[in-house]
Every structure is written in structure tokens, then in C-alpha cells.
Chain A
Amino acid sequence: MALLEISQLTKTFGGLMAINHLDLHVDEGEIVSVIGPNGAGKTTFFNIITGMFQPDEGEIWFNGHNLVGLRPNKILELGVARTFQNVRLFPNMTVRQNVMVAQHARTHSGLLAAILRTPGFRREEEMVRQKAEETLAFFGNRLVGYRFDQPAFVLSYANRRRLEIARAMATEATLILLDEPTAGMNPRETIEMTQLIGRLRDEKGYTIIVIEHDMQVVRGVSDQVVVLDYGQKIAEGKYSEVAQNERVLEAYLGRQGAQEHAAA
């Protein structure tokens, strides 16, 4: 059953068409990888889905709602969360606080409740705290214990990526968009991340769209692979199909390279 249905999405920046009449269909529980050369428009794609940019044309249907024109926090409320290519945590907030704040949209204590410290407020705070710690526990020992109260900027790179994913999880989303989650990681960390993505779907039931450059990861996690080039979808299907696709090879390797590859 379709969770996300994108039709004819188009976005132009000045003279450049960043996204060119893109269609996409994602079923619930699927892991879809979006790949393509640099500048193909993948991150722009995420930005549009999450409401950070407005498309020029097109519709984005998520769970029966059209996301186009909604503000990002509304989109989050509907169940779409994301991580960023260059890890945008809240560096001076603690690890726990980063995850607690992600539950903002799911809680509702206001100013007055906070000032008066009502029982409702206290209960909600405790629940938010618990939930944050539980979510962090998903990552093993990495982000628990003494880590809870550390400011986010002292974390190692890999831990920051994990924290960002934890933050996205805590928003109680149904669809998570991961933007190059393994960028900058060493082979061991990459394998761990690949497994993590799988666990996110298997254990927690998230639907996931991943932007990736590392083909091992793509092969390891994807149910579906979508290839973008110059904002257009040039191929779609299982990894094995896409990896042989001529146009895909051309996009990555250039025409000559693709021919050499075919000859080899």
C-alpha cells in the first residue's frame, strides 16, 4: 500500500531545473535508495518533501495528505522525519535534550503548564525523558549512560550520525529520510549503519528513503533503487536491474566509461 506518492514534482532555481517532473511511489515498510551523481537533485528532493523548499509544480501525497504548501513542522506532525547530509544537530544541547526536543510535536504542555509545574506537565516531562533514553538505547551502549548529559558537539562523527537518527526516530515518524548516512564513515561503521537501517525497518517498522553513494550499502538495504540525474528519474527497480542499466552507467561514468564498462 502506497505510503508516499509523488507525481510530477518540479523545482527550478533561477535557470536551473533541479527536479524535473519526478514521480515516485513508496510502499509502506519499503526501503528505497535514491542514488545518482552529485548535483542530481537528491538533497533538494528531500528538502522539498520535508517542506524546506516549495516545489514549482507537482504533488506529494503522504498517507492521504498533500504535503505541498505545508510548513515543515506540519509535515513532521504527519509523520515525515529526516536527517541531514552534513549532520545538523543542536550542538550545544545535550544528547538527551536533542532527542527530547524531537518529541515537541507529540507533546503539548504550554507556557502556563511549565510555569505552574502542573502534574500533567510533570508527567509529560517524565515520559519525554523516558522515551528519549529508550530511543537512544536502540544504538547499544554508544549513546547511553554518561553520554546523556554530554553536549552533542563532543560526540564522534559516527555517534553524531546515530544521534541524528535517534532524533528522527523520536519524532514518532512513519517515514524517515536519511541523507547520506554513511558519508565519511570507515568500512566497519558503514556495515554497522547498513545493519542499523535494516533494523529500523524490521524492528521499528519505519519506511525509509535513503540517499546514498556507497553501492554496498545500497545493495545491502534496498528493496527499490531510484536513480536521478539532472533532476530526472532515469531508472528504477531492484539493485541488480539498475546496476546494469545503460543510462545509469552513462550518468556515473560518462558515455565513454559506460562503453568501456560494457565491453569489459
Chain B
Amino acid sequence: MTQATEQVAKADLRDQAGREAAIQVRDVGLGQALRLGLLGGITTVFISAIGMIEAFAGRIIMQPFLTLSFTALLLIPLVFGYLAGKKPPEVEGLTRARTGPRNVLAGLLAGVLTGVLTGLFVLVANAIDLRDIFIAISPRLLNILTFDQSPSSALVLLVLVGGVLGALGSLVAIAPGRWRRPLLGAFLWTLTVGLLEGVFQQVLRGLRLEAVNSFLFSPLGGLEPAGALTIFVLVFALYVVLERRRGSVSARLEAMSDRERRRTMIIGVVALLIVLAILPQIVGVFLSEVLVNVGIYLLMGLGLNIVVGFAGLLDLGYVAFFAVGAYVTAVLTSPSSPFWAPQLTFWVALPFVVLVAALAGIMVGTPVLRMRGDYLAIVTLGFGEIARLLFVSEWLVPYVGGAQGILSIPKVTIGAFEARTPPQLFYLVMAFVLLTIYVSWALKNSRIGRAWMAMREDEPVAEVIGIDIVQAKLSAFVVGAVLASFGGAIFATKIGSIFPNSFEILVSITVLVLIIVGGMGSIPGVIVGALVLVGLPELLREFSEFRLLFYGALLIYMMLKKPEGFIPAKERMRELHQEEMLQDSWLRETEPYDRETPVDARGRDPDAGLI
């Protein structure tokens, strides 16, 4: 996205041999700064008009007045100023970037323009009542935007504040790395703590550190200024100290022998299990509930990861399998199941859940066997909707309860242990999640895993190599369906009753977003994706209204910038950035007699698979 306006200045540089070298010197583009300012203004107006600012006004990040809305409003000129002031990319030996007052000017410009646009918006909104059309432009919103001043003075204020913040942002952008990174890190962490005060307060309470709690947080909500400052300074210092030892962790892992590495991993896993075991006790009931939901989505994410990430089948109707799991569990275990109520226990019912889910997987997988990627996506989407429509239809009411759903689903019990409270449910979910992680790993490194990968990369060639595509696709669907059905089964017992409107396309899309954002095909990625994309909206109620908006924006952003996800699988990183990798390998490898000839002009295999 950033294209610096090139001002080519031939700088005389004498290298060691004393020859003149012409190096392009690039300056920050002011035109670009204006564009960024425009974008910043549009962003501010947009999030105001859709009601986000007003929704965020309730949450206080830091006393006495720094609400989430203020933070958002202030962040925009900061961020765009940062982007405007960033120095253009340098290529060693070819271009050099100059940093100086011009960068700050760029940031200032961007910030000012943002402020101007916001101010204009305020003026217009004040003059004309647009509330009939744009429901979110309320007087309250205008108060927030104008800092409770009159619109005209607000304009001046916004321009000033915008300019200052923009300049500040650009200063951070041009700061040397070893100061910039700690600054950004400290800032982000402080913001995170303020935002997730509920989580941090709970954890501190759980660890019996009440004193720290009352120091950091205010009883009125949000951080105390002193607390915020302390966190900022501490994290800053931490980053500075760790700067020295940057990269040493991964380097040390690489350097270890296989045996040592395996031992470290085992220790890591054991430590993780211990943490998981005591986690519900520390974080309390509410957060355990959140974690249970995260866990259920994680379970589904891992399942969909196999279908989409390993096998390359874009299933957009995944919620159908989730629903199947929930409904089969409900029918088999609940005494008030309409048609047939055998009232089995959860564990006795589970094999039947697996069986029906597997059948569902085959039923969905068979029609789509010969379809190409995007058709498969739409058809599976259709199947997901068909499932919901059938479950809610009057026709099937005698069997599945229609819109009334099925109630009185009993809890899961193992001997004396009953999974009723959130912490207990957490252990149940975690058990299934751990099982699923193992299954994912086991399948990935196996004959079928390789077959899936080959099929994903190049289906016709995979078939010619001897892979039975039908079997491969159907197994992917079956495994995915079974895992989703586990999620559904736990969901059913957790809530105790199920209704068709819990099985909307929203669920399929959420699961898809979380594996894409986390990283398709990558198991740690899915875990992070679930935590962030499911956990955050639960913790921050203000976000839940805008959830799908965020998901949509996130999907677009990820596809444009980072299609491999934030924690990518090794293979995917390679796949989507092949050009860059090829260049690197060209530099690194020295083969005396093999010519490096990329397959096509851009080094990409033109016949490589779809995802």
C-alpha cells in the first residue's frame, strides 16, 4: 500500500574502492500523507456513524476520562500519523531513506487532515439533523466528538489535537528500532490491560494479589493513572532488557539436538497442562464460562482446519455438523425429546453422535466431490442453511422440536464428576480439545495427511500419483464432521437446551475467520484465533455488536496483507510468499553447476493448487 513519492537525488557516495555509486534517496511522500489523512478522517467519520463511538463510550480505559471511544478517536490520528511518517523501504545498496523534519511534517499533515474531516463532519451533523437516516448520529455522539465544546471550537480543537497526535505518531515511526519497539510494546500492553481489566483483575484476585489489583485499577472502572504509568514503564523496561537477547530463544531451539528439543517440548507440554488444570480456579467463574465458549469454537476450528487447511476444501456450511452433533445428543439424552427419548447417558450416546456425524459428512461430501473450489464453498453454504431450515421447519417438529427446540438436556457425568459449572465444563471441553489437537497432529503426519496436502496443492496430479481423491475428500469431511459434532454435543449439554437459531451461518463464518486469521493449517494459529476472535467479543460486550463487521474487515485485511494468518503453518508461509522466499534461497544457496531457473517468470508454479 505505501508508495513513497520518489525524489531521486544522486548522492555521491564513495565506497571502499573509491568509485562513485549512484544511490536513490527517497523521502517520505507528502501526497501520501494527505491520502492517509483523508483515510483517517473517513475512518473516524465511519466509526462514528455506525455507532461504535457511542457504544464504546461506556468503557473507561484509564481514569478519569479516557474512555474506549476517546482512545479510539485519539488512536486514529496517531496511527495514520505513524503510517505517514514511516520511512520508505530501503534496499541495501540501491535506495536509502532520509529521515528528518519532513517525516514529522507528514505525520502532522495526516493528523491535521483527519481532524479537519472530523470537524467538518461535526459541523454538518450539528447543522442538519440526520438521525432519520443515520441512526447513530445522536447528540451524545456529537458531544463526545466535540469534547463537549461548541462545534466551531471543536473544529479547531480537533485539528490541533489531530496534528499533535499525527506528529507524535510520526516521531514514533522514525525513532530508532530499539526505542520504537519498547514504546509500541509498552503502549499496547497498557492499552490491553486497561481494555481487559476484567481478566487481569480476576487473575490477580485468583493469585491472591489483591493489593496489586487495587493499585492498578480504579473502583470506578479502568486503570488508575499511576497504575497505567507503572505498567507502561515496566513493560518498556522489559522490552529494553529483552532487546539484547532478541532471537536467542528461537536460535537456541534450533541449535538443540533432536533429543534435547524433544525433552524441552515435553517439559513445555507438561507445564501447559498444569496451567490448564489450575486455570479455572484462578480466573473465576465468568472467565471460565468465556473459556468454555472459546474451547467449543476451538474444537470446531481444529475440525474445520482439517477440512480447509489440510485438505483444501472450503466448507462454508460447517455449522451443519455442529447442529447434527447437538441435535443427536439432545434427542438421545433428553427426556423431552419429542419423537423418541431413549434417555441415554452422554457417553453412551456419543458413539451414535459420531456415527450420524460421519454419515452427515458423507452426505455432504458426496455431491461436492467433483466440484471446483468456489462451487464447493457455495454448495456447502447451502447445505448449512438447509440444515437450519430443516431443523426449524414445522415439518420436522415432531422429531426435533422446530423453533421450540429440545429442552432438558442432562449434564455430562463421569462417575461422581458432573460438568455443570463453568470450571467443570472447562475441563470437559479441554479434554476434547486436547484430543482433537492430538488427532490433528497425528493425521497431518500420516499417509492420509500427505494425501490431503497433495490434493490441496494439485488435485489432478495427486490423482495421477495414485491418490483416491474420493476417499481423501470423504475422509476429510467425515473427520471434520465428527469433530464438529463433538463441539455440538458439549454445547447441547452445556446449555441444556438447543434451538435452531443457535445454528446460523454466523457460526460457520466465525469458525472460518478464526482459522484464517489464526493461520490455516497451523494448530497454534487456530488456538490464538479462537482466543482472540471468540474470547474478546465475550469479554468486551461493546465489540459483540460489531463482531461480524470486525470479522469482515479482518478477513479482507488478512487476505490482502497476510493470507497465511498471524501464526502461519510452515507450508503456508512458503506457499503464499514464494516469490520472496525464492529470492532468499537464490542468495543463500550456492550450487556450482545447477542453474536456478524459476518455473515461470515470477517463480511460482503456475499449476499450484487453490489455497
Are A and B close enough to touch in the complex, i.e. CB under 8 Å? yes
Interface residues of A (CB under 8 A from B): 50-52, 71-73, 76-77, 81-82, 84, 86-93, 97, 100-107, 109-111, 114-115, 117, 121, 124-125, 128, 142, 151, 153-154, 156-160, 167, 171, 184, 186, 188
- Which residues of chain B are near A84, meaning CB under 8 Å? 461
Contact B594 A93 (CB under 8 A): no
Size of chain B's interface in residues, with CB distance under 8 A? 48
B442 within 8 A of A: yes
B260 within 8 A of A: no
Contact B597 A104 (CB under 8 A): no
CA separation between A72 and B463, bound complex, in Å?
6
- Which residues of chain A are near B594, meaning CB under 8 Å? 142, 156, 158-159
Which segment, of B120-128, B149-157, B575-583, faces chain A? B575-583
Contact B466 A121 (CB under 8 A): no
19 A-B residue pairs with Cβ-Cβ distance under 8 Å, sorted by A, are A73-B468, A76-B466, A84-B461, A91-B574, A92-B571, A93-B453, A101-B453, A101-B454, A104-B454, A104-B465, A106-B466, A109-B447, A111-B443, A114-B443, A114-B446, A114-B448, A153-B578, A153-B582, A171-B466
A157–chain B nearest beta-carbon distance, Å: 4
Q: Please report the number of residue pairs spanning A and B whose Cβ atoms sit closer than 8 angstroms.
A: 142
Extra 4 A-B pairs, beta carbons < 8 Å, given A81-B465, A90-B457, A91-B605: A71-B468, A73-B466, A101-B450, A157-B599
Contact B574 A151 (CB under 8 A): yes
Q: Which residue of B lies closest to A142 (CB)?
A: B594
- Which residues of chain A are near B578, meaning CB under 8 Å? 91, 153
CA separation between A111 and B467, bound complex, in Å?
14
Contact B575 A115 (CB under 8 A): no
B475 within 8 A of A: yes
Contact B465 A111 (CB under 8 A): no
Known: A110-B448, A115-B439. A156 touches B596 (CB 8 A): yes
CA separation between A90 and B581, bound complex, in Å?
16
Query: B471-489 vs A: 1/0 string, CB under 8 Å?
Result: 0000100110000000000
Specify which of A77, A90, A125 is in contact with B454 (CB 8 Å cutoff): A90
Specify which of B446, B453, B603 is in contact with A125 (CB 8 Å cutoff): B446
Contact A154 B581 (CB under 8 A): yes
Specify which of A86, A110, A124, A167 is in contact with B465 (CB 8 Å cutoff): A167
Contact A91 B608 (CB under 8 A): yes
Q: Which residue of B lies closest to A128 (CB)?
A: B447
Contact B596 A105 (CB under 8 A): no
CA separation between A50 and B108, bound complex, in Å?
65
Known: A104-B451, A111-B448. A91 touches B575 (CB 8 A): yes
CA separation between A73 and B467, bound complex, in Å?
6
A133–chain B nearest beta-carbon distance, Å: 15
CA separation between A50 and B460, bound complex, in Å?
11
CA separation between A95 and B446, bound complex, in Å?
16
- Which residues of chain A are near B442, meaning CB under 8 Å? 114-115, 117
B595 within 8 A of A: yes
Contact A52 B453 (CB under 8 A): no
